[in-house]
Structure formats: structure tokens, C-alpha cells
Structure 1
């Protein structure tokens, strides 16, 4: 059973790698993004690598679908979930990772059983583990709801939370 789970995770990572490589050839739904983000947020979003933009759009749409499944249907609340998905990875702007570096980090984390986290003085490792904190730094001064910025900050945390924004974001991010 454990081998099957490991196989599924590995095939998922291979799919992610191929998806990231092909992202440069895909059209992005900027009309969707523009309908959700303000000018400042859109300027941050546009600075992400195209693969990260595509990932964030998918996470955004999955956040909305998951919220609806949990009975959240107010348009204003769904827009918050949309925005959350679009902005969750903007901390990666601090130090953008190319596809090979990111792949190395994902594999390194797995092979080392997360021991590479001890080397956060190396910028790619630091941003891999802390991009949620960096996104928090970009957004915390701009009047966002505390629950919203805490969800972005903690979306890779292993701690459980009662923050519905964080729970849905984690699930949507894991799906993509």
C-alpha cells in the first residue's frame, strides 16, 4: 500500500514537471485574473513566472469550487477565495526558481526526508520553504484581512488550523 502511495506521488511530481515545462505554450486567462485582482495585485501576479501564474489560476478556481462544496456561495466571499489562490505564491517573487532548481528542491526534500530545510542560508532553499512568509510581507501592509494573509503565510505549514481560508487553500494547492 505504501509503495502505491509513493508511486502516485512520484507520478504526480512528473506530471507537475511536464506541466511546468509546457506552461510557456499555454494561453493564460488574464481576463479572469483582472476581474479578481486590483492593479497592485495584478502587477505582482504578472511578475510571477508563467508556470506559477498558470498554477495560481488553477489554485484560484479550485479554491472557489472547494468553497462552494462547503456551502460558501456569497459572491463577495467567493471572490476572496479567488484572490487567495491567485496571490498565494507571490512570495516566490523574492527569489524566482527555475524549473530545474525547483525540481531539485522537491526531490532533495523527499530524498533527504526534509533535511535540506537546515540549509536555509542557501537562497533557493530559503524561498522554497518560506515563500508564504515573503508573500505575507508583500501583503500585510495593504489592509488585507488577517485571516487572508495568515492563510497565504501558512499554506505550506504542517500545523492544522481552523482558518477556513487556509484549509481550502492548502487543499487546492495540493491538488495542483
Structure 2
């Protein structure tokens, strides 16, 4: 929970700098970049941080990674473009989710609750319509799925997402 409070304050100051842009342009194609830029700046920065953390984590563990894994990290929250959550909304949902142990999910008719819980599926659908590769689709769709534990890349993506 302390990490979440820290994230909240960091989000207010997040900006995309030239190093961030270079990183994104290195891995995403034009169509993916256009989609990525529809995310709020703090969500873009979060995705960049997840992708960079993923690269570093793989290097530390001496695990081979490929561009598809980094693309998935950069686009893992792309479903959030369907309903924008401001920082207060997002923070409130994170806290309510923790306190209620996920019981607020029953209020999914609320668009903000829906996007909080279902952005992986929404992202999957957006990327599938673009003709994205199956591996990226799988990683985006399952980055909050705790029922899959035998996929190393997915596990690393989930860990890096949680830490950022």
C-alpha cells in the first residue's frame, strides 16, 4: 500500500521526455504509437516504466526476452483508452479494491469500475482488431490473470506492472 501512495504522488509529476520517446519509438510501430499516445501521460509513463523494468529484470535473471514482450509491456494498459480514469479515480479504485478485496467488481456497470477491472480484455480486443500478434494479445489479455502461473514472461510482466 505504501508503494501505491508513492505512485500516486509520482503520477502528478510524470512527463514523457526524449529518452522515453526514443524507447517507445524503438519498439512500437506507427499504428501502435498512435494508439499508445491516446493514453493519459501518467499511463504512458507507467507503461514505459513497466517495459524498462521488465528489460532490466530479464537481464538480471539472464532471461532472454524479445521485442514482442516489450511491446506487450508498453501496450498492456491500452484498454484504458476506452474510459479515461483521472488520478483520483484510479487511486480511489485501487484503494477500494484492496479494502473490499475485489468486492467492488460487482459494480462493473459503472464505466470506471468496468475499465479498472476489464481493461486487459478491452486492450486485447483493440489490439486484435489491429491484427496484433497472438503472443502480445495473450500477454495484454492476461496481465491481471492470477490463474496462469506457468508462463515466465507473463509472470515477469505482472510483477513489473505491480511494482510500477
Flag whether TM exceeds 0.5 (same fold): yes
* TM-superposed deviation, 1:70: 4.2
Over 4 Å off, 4+ runs: none
Give yes or no for contact 2:11–2:87 (8 Å, CA) kept in 1.
yes
Greater relative contact order (Cα < 8 A, sep 6+): 2
- Residue equivalent to 2:104: 116
CA distance in 1, matches of 2:98, 2:61: 32
Structure 2 segments unaligned to the other structure (5+ residues): none
CA distance in 2, matches of 1:70, 1:17: 29
Q: 1:162 to 1:147 in 2, by over 3 A?
A: farther
CA distance in 1, matches of 2:60, 2:3: 24
Match of 2:147 among 129, 135, 159: 159
> How many corresponding residue pairs?
163
- Residue equivalent to 2:30: 39
- Residue equivalent to 1:88: 76
Give yes or no for contact 1:109–1:115 (8 Å, CA) kept in 2.
yes
- Residue equivalent to 1:105: 93
- In the TM superposition, 1:1-176 aligns within 5 A as 9=1, 11-24=2-15, 27=17, 29-73=20-64, 77-176=65-164
CA distance in 1, matches of 2:109, 2:129: 26
TM-score (norm 1): 0.85
